[in-house]
Each structure stands twice: as structure tokens, then as C-alpha cells.
Structure 1
């Protein structure tokens, strides 16, 4: 059976429009394929707040039970809580029903391994092959799995985060903070965590109904109505979550949206004060993190793009923190998943230590401007285009781990082909927006032959 053309398959799961590419049949089949790789073992199941998640929950259960799995259904929960639950309960893996930051018509499955991290590419390819062939386990009547509802794990997740910081130091500042969960899965845990930190929490969309108040991706363009409320409520800062709560966006006390790239940089700055050690980010994440790590005298590494790739390199280097520039902080003390809750606690702890307005902490980070563009380029042309880029900037440091990354003295370019369409993504970062625009324009001319 071929994967439907409108069903997106990645190394860690599937995603599509509910009722079109993503149907109950396709969902149950993917769950059965996954269940075949952990047949007879315990699997955590959770979902974000999207209303379609209830239908898909039954489809996933059907696939897992048919493979003989014991399903522990933790209900609506953030993606990092799902990963945390796997580690805490020594489960064989997990499926989170979510479409992350995609619009409301979408949903999907994100799959986890026994260490609580999203599946790496190799494991994901095995499951896709099982889905396509249908050669997966089918239990007899007396071998079908079972379902249970374990004790609430969110309190343990919150406690694990709180154990990494000085709660008294944060609580002593009595911060008023704004939390926009946009009706996603992270509202209850985010509210609990911030209250435990002694914060006065102004809540917006903190009930996980899945009825989004604004577009779900937490980028400045989607927060124009929300951002002013931070200043209007006299908050020290605002936190914004995506629907499955693995990304953290920030709004300063003036109501100004802060680049998502700053989330990880601020968390890295605080973490390296606690413990010096290696830092890992992906190829397309801001150099702010490298500058912060270098200033602290710590090793710094870059992986290929993708959460599983970041986690793999974090393990290899014994990193103390890592993540991605989309607002994703990964702290191995909590789990191997992007976790906004450790991000919140770290940033509030940094504010408590520095006793400075949040906008000042952001202003003190290294200054860079990033631009993301894409150009239509055939797969056949891509190798020659990358070679031409190397020739265009012969003095740049070259990295071919993931497409091509060129590093200059104070700038970088990352050029990589799309896995799903004939385009090349070009990302540039430099001290000024004008320089980033110039780099993208020049790179685009090279790769398109213009």
C-alpha cells in the first residue's frame, strides 16, 4: 500500500489533513506498523487538544492493541510530557497524536523510542516500510493488548523541572507573567509550573480545547493581537506555546515579540552558569548560542536539522543542553524532547539572578539578523549548485553534514534541499538584516543559475 500523496511522512511520524490524507484507516495502519516494532510491550499514548484527536485516539489504540501492546493512555498532554512518561515508566515507546504548529484541519502521529526521544530516521523508515507492505503483527483473539490509565504524570514532569532551579530565588521576585497556550496541551502544566514558581499568571487559552484563538504557530505574525496584552497586564514577560507544547515563544514587557531564536540562547546562558559543558544545536540555529557557549568556555557542536539529529549528537558529546532555534530547548535532565517548561524556568531564573527587565536580557544577547528563503531548484542540479556556492565563498568554513553550511567571520549560510518538493532552502544570518538579505540573494542567484 502506497502512502497517500497528501499524507506527509517524516522520520518521526506522519501528518496530514484529517479526513483527507490522514484518515482513521491510515492512522490505525501506522499505529499497527509501529506496534509491530514493540509488540507485546507497554506504549504511552497521548494527544494535544485538537478535537480530531479523540477520533484518532481510537484508531491508534486499535492498531496498537491489534499488535498486542499494552497501552497506557495519559490523555491530553504536552509532547515533552509524553517523552517524560516513557522514561519514567520504562515503556517501550509512545505515540503522541499531534500536528504540532499546523492549522486546525491537520493532525498526525509523532512516535517515540524507549528513551523518550522522537524516533530517529532509521527506525522511522522501518515503520514506514511495514505500513506500506502491511507485513505487521496481528494478534489472535487471545493475544490482543489492553488499555489502562496511569496516574497523572504532569505533576512529576513539573517537579523534575523545578528540581533543576532555585524555586525560592524565582518566587522571591513575584513575577507577573502572561501565558498563551492557545487552547493547546500545555496550558494546565504551564499554569501549574508558573504558580509553583510563585508567579502571578495571566492566562490566555489555557484550557486544552483545541479551539485556537489565533494561528497555532507561535511566530510574531500570529501574535499581533496577543502581544500588547503583556504590557497592558503589566507582566514581566509573556510565554507562548504551540499546540503540543514543544516550542516556546517570548514577548517582552513592552509587548514586543522576541525572536524564537532567543529562547534557546537565553536557556543556554542560564544552563551554562549552572554547569559548564557541551552545547548542541542544529545547522540552521542562530550563532547566538555559539557565542554564548564560547563566552562560557564550553564546547559547541552543530547537528543536521531535525530533533532526532540534535538528540543523537547531544548523547555523543554528553551535552548539558541543546535544542533548535524554533523555540525548542532540550535538557537531558528532564528528557530528550524539546521542552518549553524547562525553558520557562530557566529564563525566569536568569531574570531572578540578573534582576534586569526581560527586554534588557534580550538586548544583551549577541546581535544577529536571520533570513529564511527558498528557491526552485531540481534535485539533479543541486550537487552542482552546492559546489558553485563553495566556489563563490572560497574563504568560508565548509560543513556538508546537512546540505551545505558556509561560515564566514560574522555570517553563515545554510543551503539544503527539501525532501518533499523541488526547492532549496537558503538561510542566512549576519549582524544586519541588509547583509542577510544580500547573502540570500547572492546564494539564490548561484543555485538557480540566475
Structure 2
């Protein structure tokens, strides 16, 4: 079945515009409710979490109306990180988990992510089936079977306690000064609390959400703010989360930024040495740096690449029985602990490495020298995709031929925004930039015809 509503990470768009309208959220809630009421023996329960966007109130209420109309009982968690929804869906024996968030996008966007009863994001097939239900006439529950709604006050506390259990007993963060930037998002309470309770001196940024400042000049998409504070405070580590805290970027004591590739390289090596890395394999996407692949091969480890999107990473991990994966953007998935990317728990594992080795973040966060890489994003008007323009394929093929044998070129549409992403890697930086800029300028020229 084809999918028009769902992208690579649920349904996403500009708030109050299709598909992020109250009407569509209501239908999506009803469709998901009808899909999950086909089976199950636990009272047909769904948990809903959200980040701090103003539009979250509207979408949460609309989803609730749709779900209860098909007989689902709704448990409202309030603002919690995305990984908390995955954890609590499974912990609370729910049929379905929903996170209302557009992750790292600006406040005017929002999204809806669905989790199954096992705490993992739904498969493409399940999303396509729900989309088909939404497009048809949805069968509603009888009046006596309309669902109930309850607000769960302790959901965040459960997640906080669980996050602390992933940090080894007998160790503390005492003596470490940590800056954590919560991006005015879903982890604005949980992340500083976990770090403080584990003994760190915590400097918290991005913890005053107002509904419109999420990800604004802060968090993982703007780590400069965290880096500046790390240097000003003389901190040992900076932790920059995104709006729903499923990704993390780290900043060492020198103010240098470490992306997901560097974090995964450290974890893969350490886990392999501890005989914890399943089948000596790390799963990541086509966007990860070639330097990471070379580093792993140098340590006798294997890299498995997938399409972009942490859900595809997780699906491949589950298929292969592997326990570590993620994305360059900072999604770190450790299925020993979580069912989806978890920025806070990934940061805790990095802090464990600092304590165990006695080495500073600047040493641990630079496992390999990245191959020069450049990424250019082209934004376009929906319905006017430059990759569909006559001549685009021929132009891209000619540009790609220039890198053959010398580097790597990847061109793809974003699954969450109307963007064409052009990425290249090459030791010859001049050639790499020339190729990428040539493609970008060429596509823009085609789009302007």
C-alpha cells in the first residue's frame, strides 16, 4: 500500500495546514484507534506525549477525540521526551503510543509519531494500513464503548527513574560540571533532573519553553549556544538535545562539537572490547561519514547502512539482531536500553566512558578523522520538486561521474520537510564543493524555468 500521509518519521507538517490540522489529527486518532482495536486484551489503551509547541494542545485534544470515538482509553502524559513514550507504551501495557512533536523542526511545524505495544515505531506496512483506514469511512464505537481519558501525572518521573538505571550502580557524576541544552523542548525537566540526581553540577539551558521558542537558536541544531556556555563555565561536557530529546550532539571541554558518528564510533569500540557489541556490527544510514566506516574496519568491526531515518535503522537492527545503531544527526539507538533514539541516555553512556577511562571529552569524542563532507539543502514548494524537472537526472549523472572513484555523492528528498538534500564526500574538498554547488545551482535553475 502506498503512503501519502506518513513520511520517514510519522506525519509532519506546518501546524494548521494539511496534514497538521485538528481535523486530520482527529481522523488519524480514529484511524489508529480502529486499527489497534482489531486485537489486544488490555482494555485498548493508548498513551500520548508531546513536546512544548503551542500547537501541541490542539493536536493532543483532536487525537484524543478521535481515539476515544473508536473506543480507545487515552492516558495523557503531557510534555515528555519521545523515548519516554516508547518506554511508557511498553511499561503501561498500552496498545499504542503517540508522540506529538516535530523533533528538531521550528515551532510552527508539528508531527505525530506512532509506537506499537512493544515500544517500537510502527512499520511502513502498519502506517499504510492506518492511512487506508483514515481515507475511508471510519467505524465509530457504540455510545457505551466510547473511551475514557486520564491524565498521568507520574509518567515523566517513571522515565527519569528508568534513565538513571542505565547508569552503572556505584558510580556518580560527582566532580563533573555538565552543561545541558534542552532546546526549550520536551526534556526541559527530565534531563537536568537526571544529571543532578546522579551527582553532576548542572548548568541548564533551554529550559523555559513558551510554545514558540523550541529549537530556536539552541539545542542540537544550534550547538554553538551550548559550546559557548561550556567554555564560559569551564565545564567538562556539553549536551545539546533536540526538541523531543531523541537526538544529542556533544560538546567537549574545548568547545568542539561531536556528532552522532563520533559518539557511535566510541560506543562501538568500547562495546566490542567489552564483548557487548552484537556480531561486531554498527547500523547507521547512508549519511554517516566514510571516516566512521574506515574506523570500524580498522577495528575489525562491520558497518551496516540503511536509508535515512532512525526507524529504518531500528528495523535493520531488529532484523539482524544488532544492538547499536544511529544517525550522524545524533539519534543513538541502544536496544539494550531503549526502543528508539534517546539523547539523554546516550549522553549518560558517554559520561560513563569519561568516568571509566579518566579521559576528557575531547579525547573520547574524536575517535576518527572525518572524510571531508558537505551537505547542501534546497527548499522547494510542495508539488514543484526540482528532482522531477526535465534534465535533472542527466545533470546529476554528469556531476556524479566527476566524483567516481574519488568520493561519494548522495542526493535525496527529506522525509520530514520539502527539501532536497545534496551530500558529497571527497578528500579533494575543492572538487567536492564544486560538484555540490554545481548540482544545487543547476537544480535551482531547472526549477526556475
TM-score range, shorter chain: 0.7 to 0.9
- Equivalents in 2 of 1:64, 1:162: separation in Å? 33
Task: Report whether the alignment pairs 1:309 with 2:312.
Answer: yes
Structure 2 equivalent of residue 75 of structure 1:
78
Task: Report whether the alignment pairs 1:136 with 2:138.
Answer: yes
State the shift of 1:345 in Å: 0.9
State the shift of 1:431 in Å: 4.7
Between 48-57 and 321-330, report the one with greater CA deviation: 48-57
- Equivalents in 1 of 2:85, 2:135: separation in Å? 27
* 3-state SS of paired residue (1:415): strand
Instruction: String of CA shifts for 1:145-188, please: whole Å, max 9, x gaps.
Output: 1123446244443444444443544535x210001112211122
Structure 2 equivalent of residue 399 of structure 1:
none
State the shift of 1:355 in Å: 2.1
CA change 1:344–1:225 in 2 (3 A) is closer
Structure 2 equivalent of residue 320 of structure 1:
323
CA change 1:300–1:183 in 2 (3 A) is same
- Equivalents in 2 of 1:387, 1:218: separation in Å? 37
Select 1:357's aligned residue among 356, 360, 367: 360
Cα contact 2:262–2:367 (8 A) shared by 1: no
Cα contact 1:11–1:120 (8 A) shared by 2: no
State the shift of 1:237 in Å: 1.4
Select 1:24's aligned residue among 22, 25, 33: 22
Structure 2 equivalent of residue 238 of structure 1:
238
- Equivalents in 1 of 2:183, 2:415: separation in Å? 30
Instruction: String of CA shifts for 1:41-62, please: whole Å, max 9, x gaps.
Output: 2111111112321222111110
Instruction: String of CA shifts for 1:67-88, please: whole Å, max 9, x gaps.
Output: 1112122221100100111122
- Equivalents in 2 of 1:361, 1:170: separation in Å? 19
Instruction: String of CA shifts for 1:93-139, please: whole Å, max 9, x gaps.
Output: 21111121221222221111222122222222222222223x22311
- Equivalents in 1 of 2:180, 2:417: separation in Å? 36
State the shift of 1:250 in Å: 2.0
State the shift of 1:427 in Å: 1.2
* 3-state SS of paired residue (2:277): coil
Structure 1 equivalent of residue 228 of structure 2:
228
Instruction: String of CA shifts for 1:239-277, please: whole Å, max 9, x gaps.
Output: 111111111122222334444543433443444344132
Unaligned runs of 5+ in 2: 38-42, 379-385
Structure 2 equivalent of residue 252 of structure 1:
252
Unaligned runs of 5+ in 1: 396-407
CA change 1:167–1:419 in 2 (3 A) is closer
* 3-state SS of paired residue (1:142): helix
Superposition CA RMSD, Å: 3.2
- Equivalents in 2 of 1:362, 1:199: separation in Å? 19
TM-score of the pair, normalised by structure 2: 0.84
Task: Report whether the alignment pairs 1:428 with 2:424.
Answer: yes
* Number of equivalenced pairs: 428
CA change 1:257–1:96 in 2 (3 A) is same
Between 233-242 and 369-378, report the one with greater CA deviation: 369-378
- Equivalents in 1 of 2:336, 2:83: separation in Å? 12
